[in-house]
Amino acid sequence: MALKLTPMNPVEMLQDNEIAEFLTEAYLDDDPAVFIIALGDVVKHKGVTELARQTGLNRESLYKAFNGKAQPRWDTVHRLLKALGVRLTIAA
């Protein structure tokens, strides 16, 4: 009998209070693409349609921003972080 494995997406297991920590860890990676990928995963997990409504951004534009072929604008990232309840802080 063969063991059947199914893919697991750890983002699906995140609780709302863990999103900021997840994004912070991604931001601290040396590769900036890691943060964008992580943010895109969170956006998809939370619901692109709902976040588009909350941010006033176009749903199709959000899909394109996180398809790996384009870089989202800062305005898009800022609006999404705000809608997700995540504050970006800068510290020395």
In sequence order, which residues have a C-beta less than 8 Å from that of residue 44 and are 6 or more positions away? 11, 66
CA distance 65 to 49: 14
Please tell me the predicted confidence (pLDDT) of residue 92. Answer: 84
pTM of structure: 0.84
Among 7-11, 40-44, 61-65, 70-74, where is mean pLDDT lowest?
7-11
**63 exposure class (CB count in 10 Å sphere: 0-12, 13-18, 19+):** middle
Report the percent of the chain where pLDDT is more than 90: 65
pLDDT for 6 beyond 80 = no
Residue 27's φ and ψ, nearest 5 degrees, are -65, -35
